Amino acid sequence: MGRMVQLWKSRESSEDIEYLYGSSREDAGLLRASKHGGPVVKVRAVKGLSEADDNFFYFQLASFKIGRLREAGEFPEETYIGT
């Protein structure tokens, strides 16, 4: 069974970025990351999920995608990642 995570830019500064993540904006979690490296921080989990389910179904993939965006130096308004 595949997984897909959508990401929507929520806030951006010269140093960091925030994205909503999940399958819908209404129930989305929120993450924050430096544009230059370091850990991706979960601000809030996807609504209605336990921490473990959020990590497995959404946050791990969203964090991986943030790493790819950092490598490219591009932070689009919307993006996704799937398995």
Contact at 8 Å (CB) between 5 and 83? Answer: no
From first to last of its 83 residues, the chain has per-residue pLDDT tens of 788 999 999 999 999 999 999 999 999 999 999 999 999 999 999 999 999 999 999 999 999 999 999 999 999 999 999 98
Cα angle 18, 22, 26 (rounded to 5 degrees) comes to: 90
Report if pTM > 0.75. yes
pLDDT of residue 35: 96
Instruction: List beta partners, residue 18.
Output: 11, 32
Quote the CA–CA distance of 35 and 56 in Å, as a whole number: 23
